[in-house]
Amino acid sequence: MDSQITVEKLLSNMDTLPELPEVAFKVSQLLDDPSTDAKALGEVIILDPGLLTQVLKLCNSAQYSLSRKIATISEAVALLGHKALRQIVFTIISHSVLNRAVNGYGLETGALWENSITCGMYAKQLALKLGFADTELAFIAGLLRDIGKIALGYHLASKSQAVRQIIRGQRLSFLNAEEQATGANHSVMGAYLSTRWNLPDKLTLAIQYHHTPSKLPAETSAEDRKLVALVHLADIFTMMNGTGTGIDGLMYTLDGQIFEMLDIPANGDTLELWYAELLDLQSEIDVVLNTFGSN
Amino acid sequence: MVAQTTKEIIVPVGEFCLSSNSHEILKALRVAASIVVVAYDPTAGRGGIAHMALPESKIASGNDRAPGKFVDLGLPLFIEAITKHGGDKAHLQIKIVGGSQLFNFGGGSGNLLNIGTRNAITARTILNREGLPVEKTETGGNKPRNVMLDIATGQVQVSHPGESPRII
């Protein structure tokens, strides 16, 4: 069955669909345009009750170590820049979507959120290390890569026994087991939601191929391939760390093509050292989680 | 008299924790590729959990070489600390938990990042060198584990996310 039709059929069986606030799309569009001024941005952000307060709270958190307290969006733009503000806004609006229990994956409230923030921070750090220009975009891609689990988890909840049997009997990865049990996997489901939410194509690609970067369409640009590959690596390191992982645990594979895509040697010692360095981000991750009172 | 409530202490990766307080439970949560070594001396009522991420420190230098992160540096320090603080090596009950691996890892990417397996091997080697027999091992597989040590009883419980805990 065509995966698009399967995803639509699965989503149509749900009482409510996960939604990203509309302001996300507007902010995303505004922040993608370098000519957007702080006033226009402030006018959009203030439309969402609570968003402005949260934005300022994160701007003033230890994560950004600003020398003075900021009180307006204009100041935030001036001191942090468009890209950092985009990261902050996406972090806040993602919280409402990701900070929930996902029964089909054995995730209690907060687990997927912690896992997603960890992956976002790892992706950003890897982007910095690998010379990927838009490190904040890498953060957002890492943050949102598993949004499909929220929708697919609804259907997996009643099929956990079948999934276990499929994995045990056929030695399949969890992604393949999801497909066998439901007809779709969380990457495809996430990409569908991303399109539905009008997120940029780059993010949709990263969400859809975060487990299988080597399957990206041939026409994908080198820059986008790099983004997806580094999100894949960040995802692998997040699984190894274990933070907020569910019943799917580490039942995924490392895509060997990423070394070529990222132009790095396939060297185990280098990867281990990177992993050791990423573990040092825990205090920064805790700062973000504490801002939301979930850690 | 008011009964004392039990306090749960989370031991994050890169750290170890010792206790002789019978009202404390030490926990390491979602231990995936990392390895947890649990040591308990029933005669002293003292125990601890060491939660380490990587097998060997030779890959790192400077600030990246925090001893608690590496089994080859952190585990000897943990054993030294527990004996220095009243635990008797001859009585230590040792259990190793964790060391999960990515799925189907023998494929195209060879043995890159087989940290889980090597963490478990390194821990065993060091404990063997220290003359400490390992009473129980629950390592490998593809799922993270939660590990819990009850200082009052020395009981160690292990659970996968979404599953009930088991005593090991």
Q: Across all residues in chain A, what is the average pLDDT?
A: 87
For residue A114, the model assigns a pLDDT of 95
Taking phi over 0 as left and psi of -120 to 50 as alpha, with beta for the rest, B92 belongs to beta
Higher pLDDT, A164 or A112: A112
Q: What is the pLDDT of residue B29?
A: 94
- Residue A295: per-residue pLDDT: 43
Give me the domains of chain A, ranges plus CATH numbers.
3-16+102-291 (1.10.3210.10)
> Is the ipTM reported for this complex over the cut 0.85?
yes
Q: Is the dihedral of CA B93, B89, B148, B138 positive or negative?
A: negative
Q: What is the pLDDT of residue B105?
A: 47
Residue B30 contacts A where some CB pair is shorter than 8 Å: yes
CATH no., domain B7-167: 3.30.1330.200
Strands B35-41 vs B7-10: parallel, antiparallel or unpaired: unpaired
A147 pLDDT higher than 90: yes
A171 touches chain B (CB under 8 A): yes
pLDDT, tens only, B105-131: 445 554 678 899 999 999 999 999 999
Q: Tell me the per-residue pLDDT of A35-58, one tens digit each, with 9 for 90 and over.
A: 777 778 778 887 776 788 888 888
Q: Are B49 and B38 in contact (CB under 8 A)?
A: yes
Q: Could you give the residue ranges of the DSSP H alpha helices within chain B?
A: 71-84, 115-129
> Is pLDDT larger for residue A155 or for residue B46?
B46
Q: Is A277 on the interface with B (CB under 8 A)?
A: yes
Structure tokens at A291: 């801002």
| Cβ within 8 Å, pair A240-B142 | no
Is the CB of B32 less than 8 angstroms away from the CB of A245? yes
CB contacts < 8 A (A, B): 122
| pLDDT at residue A74 tops 90 | no
Does the beta carbon of B118 lie under 8 angstroms from any beta carbon of chain A?
no
What pLDDT does A68 receive? 83
Asked whether B64 and A280 are in contact (CB, 8 A), the reply is yes
pTM beyond 0.95: the answer is: no
State residue B64's pLDDT score.
65
Q: Among candidates A207, A232, A244, which has minimal Cα distance to A114?
A: A244
Residue B167 or A16, more confident: B167
| Residues paired with residue B17 on neighbouring β-strands, in sequence order | B49
Q: Is B33 on the interface with A (CB under 8 A)?
A: yes
Q: Please, which residues have CB within 8 angstroms of residue A44's CB and are 6 or more apart in sequence?
A: A23, A26, A27, A30
B115 to A280: CB separation less than 8 angstroms, yes or no:
no
- What is the longest distance spanned by two Cα atoms in chain A? 59
How many CB atoms are located within 10 Å of the residue A160 CB? Answer: 16
Classify burial at A171, counting beta carbons within 10 Å of its beta carbon; exposed 0-12, middle 13-18, buried 19 or more. exposed
